[in-house]
Amino acid sequence: MMALDDIRVLDLSRLAPGPFCTMLLGDLGADVLLIEPPPDSRAASLPGGGQSGNAYNALGRNKRSIILNLRDESARDVFYKLVETADVVLEGFRPGVVQRLGVDYETLREKNPQIVYCSLSGYGQTGPYAKLVGHDINYISVGGALGMIGWPGQPPAIPMNIIADFAGGGLHAAYAILAALHARDRLGHGQFVDIAMSDGVLYLLASAVSGYYASGGRVPERGATMLNGSLPSYNVYECSNGGWISIGSLEPHFWANLCQVMGREDFIPHQFDSEKREEIAAHFKAQFKSKTRDEWFTVLQETDICAAPVYGLDEALEDPHNLAREMVIDVDHPETGRVKQVGIGTKLSDTPGSVRVHAPAPGQHTDDVLSRLGYAADEIASMREGGAVG
């Protein structure tokens, strides 16, 4: 038994946020069927395909794939039949597209009132920005995150597309879908879920928003607040080999331990003293330059101080803790053999997640899905010849 092995998901999404959402659901057992466009469409021409790409593509694992040209009436009829027994539909188009295709929530709930329908978009289905195009960098801008990342007097530091695409988008959508499925058990019907990545970014800033209002409107500036670089006790320091170490010693006892290791117990009463900040930071910078990053990590682990090495992704994938937590796993692929992928972050004791199959090739399961729906081989061939399926 797996936590979600009774849930069927139809995934119309294309780019990272949607596939990450359904990867999360699939890892926990959901039956995820990708509804992919014909290969000559703009959405299908993105890089990363081929057997090698499929083998390493964690976002596509635990999924099946069918190609449907939803502009074709017979393909829409196939989709409608799939909806009748589905629990979830996820789409990631700009507002208005699913209505034009005839696969919007209002249409589908007539065919299956139990359906949970999630629209995942940049700015949501309502509001003045709803139809604007965008990417992660734009959503973290509007959501207020980008403006507080970086150092004073410098441009905002652009992070990887984790905040909006993966956290505010895919993760936010997965949790909302599960909430709607839970509510369905009590309501007796499904519902529409409107997920905006810009909303998700602002939602992630709940604590910062609370602080802003509580302070009477003090804006968190880049590198100027307690948690984004203003304090010597919560900062990053370059070490002798060019590596960096992060320090997060906010609590008084951790701060005291850090000051002792730095050879300056006189700093202990001045953790939040703005007049001493430059002196403390200068001393710490000089001290951390005296050893390598890994030497410092060894020392700091032994003295109960909040510290960690700043890794590149290659180092993170080799870290003994991450490996012990099975955050790097081996997945079998029939053409390329065993490949490594990211592990499953959600640890459930009785119904753990698993990687059961690698990412499919587009349309790999079209014939099987259609035959299970009752289509005869000659009907499938005719639909393929007409461009309805692939």
In this structure, of 33-37, 39-43, 44-48, 83-87, the range with the lowest mean pLDDT score is 44-48
Q: What is the CATH number of the domain that holds 286?
A: 3.30.1540
* pLDDT for the residue 39: 87
* Euclidean distance between CA atoms 29 and 65, whole angstroms: 16
Examine residue 215 and state whether it is found in any structural domain, yes or no: no
Residue pLDDT, tens place only, 124-159? 999 999 999 999 999 999 999 999 999 999 999 999
* pLDDT at residue 40 greater than cutoff 80: no
Examine residue 180 and state whether it is found in any structural domain, yes or no: yes
- Last residue of a domain, which of 309, 334, 362? 309
Total domain count, the chain = 2
CB 297 within 8 A of CB 237: no
Q: Would you give the DSSP letter of residue 389? A: B
| 120 and 248 both lie in a single domain | no
- Last residue of a domain, which of 309, 336, 357? 309
Examine residue 226 and state whether it is found in any structural domain, yes or no: no
Domain that holds residue 346: 8-203+326-385
Query: Which residues on neighbouring strands pair with residue 63, listed in sequence order?
Result: 32
Query: Which residues on neighbouring strands pair with residue 193, listed in sequence order?
Result: 118
What does the angle CA 243 – CA 244 – CA 246 come to, to the nearest 5 degrees? Answer: 155
Query: Which residues on neighbouring strands pair with residue 8, listed in sequence order?
Result: 31
* pLDDT for the residue 194: 98
Of all residues in the chain, the percent with pLDDT exceeding 90 is: 94
**Looking at the annotation, which residues are catalytic?**
135, 165
* Euclidean distance between CA atoms 321 and 17, whole angstroms: 27
| 15 and 108 both lie in a single domain | yes
Single-letter amino acid, residue 79: F
* Euclidean distance between CA atoms 144 and 204, whole angstroms: 10
Residue pLDDT, tens place only, 167-214? 999 999 999 999 999 999 999 999 999 999 999 999 999 999 999 999
pTM: 0.94
Write the DSSP assignment of 59-70 as a string of letters: GGTTEEEEEB-T
